[in-house]
C-alpha cells in the first residue's frame, strides 16, 4: 500500500469506510422498496414501511455524523455549535438503545478541528462497546488549550489493536486500511496542531481517550 501521506490513497480509504458503514441501511431501504412493490397484505406493507422508515432514519443519522466527522462541516464558520456534535453522536449510538451517551460539554461552540477529533474518538469508542454500555463525551476550552476526553465502559470492550496502534502513531506492518484510516487521521490532525493523544492501556475495564489541542 502507498504511504499514508498520499492524499488520494488516504481519501480512498476513508471513502471505503464510509461506504461500508452506509451499505447496510441503504441496502435495507432497497430491500424494503422491493418488498413493498410485491406485497398486498396491509400488515406486511406496514412492516415494510416501518423498515423503510428505520433505514431512512439510520442513513440520515450516519450522513449527518460523517459530514461533521470527515467532511469540512460546510455551512459553519470557524466553529461548530456543540449541539450539532451532540445530536450527531446520539443519532449514531443512543437512538439504537444499546449505548447511553453522557454529554459533558458546556461550551456552546467548538472549533472545527476539536469537533472532528471529538466525533472520531466517539465513533471509535462507541464501536468498541460491542455489547453496549456507557459512552461519555467531555470537552473544555481553557486558556491556550482545548481538552477532549472520551470514555467508554460496558460489559465487553473490544478495541482493534491496529486502531490502538494508529492512535498511538504506529502503523501496522501491512500499512493503513479503511478500518484504521480514521484513527490515523485523528493522530495526524492532533499532532499537526501541536497537540497530544493519550489512551488507556489495553486490558482495562474501561476505554479512555484524552486529547489536548493548543488554541
d(C-alpha 215, C-alpha 212), whole Å = 9
Digit-coded pLDDT (tens) for 89-104? 999 986 677 899 999 9
Average of per-residue pLDDT across 165-178 = 83
- Candidates 35, 33, 28; CA nearest to 55 is 28
Return d(Cα 76, Cα 68) in angstroms, integer.
10
Please report, for residues 15, 68, 72, 170, the alpha-carbon distance to residue 152 in angstroms, rounded to integers and kept in the order given.
Answer: 26, 21, 27, 22
pTM of the model: 0.87
Q: What grid cell was written down for 136?
A: 461519555
Decide which of 127 and 35 is more confident.
Answer: 127
Of the candidates 99, 101, 179, the one whose C-alpha atom is nearest the C-alpha of residue 136 is 101
Number of structural domains (the chain) is 1
CATH assignment of the domain containing 64: 3.30.565.10
Contact 215, 115 (CB under 8 A): no
Q: Give the pLDDT band (50/70/90) at residue 196.
A: very high
Residue 1 lies in a domain: no
Convert the pLDDT of each residue in 104-121 to its tens digit: 999 999 999 999 999 999
- pLDDT computed for residue 2 by the predictor: 42
Its domain, for residue 176, covers 7-214
Band of residue 145 on the pLDDT scale cut at 50, 70, 90:
very high
Report H helices in the chain: 7-38, 42-70, 82-92, 112-128, 161-168, 178-192
User: Mean pLDDT lowest for which of 10-19, 33-42, 47-56?
Assistant: 33-42
Question: Is position 2 within any domain?
Answer: no
Q: Is the residue at 138 inside a domain?
A: yes
Amino acid at each position: 500500500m502507498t504511504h499514508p501521506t498520499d492524499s488520494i490513497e488516504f481519501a480512498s480509504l476513508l471513502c471505503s469506510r464510509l461506504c461500508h458503514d452506509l451499505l447496510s441501511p441503504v441496502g435495507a431501504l432497497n430491500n424494503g422498496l422491493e418488498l413493498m412493490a410485491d406485497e398486498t397484505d396491509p400488515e406486511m406493507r406496514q412492516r415494510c414501511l416501518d423498515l423503510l422508515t428505520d433505514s431512512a432514519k439510520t442513513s440520515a443519522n450516519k450522513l449527518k455524523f460523517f459530514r461533521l466527522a470527515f467532511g469540512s462541516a460546510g455551512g459553519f464558520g470557524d466553529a461548530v455549535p456543540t449541539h450539532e456534535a451532540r445530536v450527531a453522536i446520539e443519532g449514531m449510538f443512543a437512538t439504537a438503545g444499546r449505548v447511553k451517551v453522557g454529554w459533558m460539554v458546556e461550551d456552546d461552540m467548538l472549533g472545527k478541528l476539536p469537533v472532528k477529533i471529538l466525533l472520531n474518538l466517539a465513533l471509535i469508542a462507541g464501536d468498541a462497546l460491542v455489547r453496549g454500555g456507557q459512552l461519555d463525551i467531555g470537552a473544555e476550552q481553557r486558556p491556550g488549550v482545548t481538552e477532549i476526553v472520551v470514555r467508554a465502559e460496558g460489559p465487553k470492550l473490544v478495541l482493534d489493536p491496529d486502531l490502538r496502534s494508529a492512535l498511538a502513531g504506529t502503523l501496522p506492518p501491512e500499512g493503513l486500511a479503511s478500518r484504521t484510516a480514521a484513527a490515523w487521521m485523528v493522530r495526524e490532525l492532533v499532532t499537526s496542531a501541536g497537540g497530544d493523544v493519550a489512551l488507556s492501556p489495553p486490558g482495562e475495564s474501561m476505554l479512555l481517550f484524552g486529547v489536548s489541542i493548543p488554541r
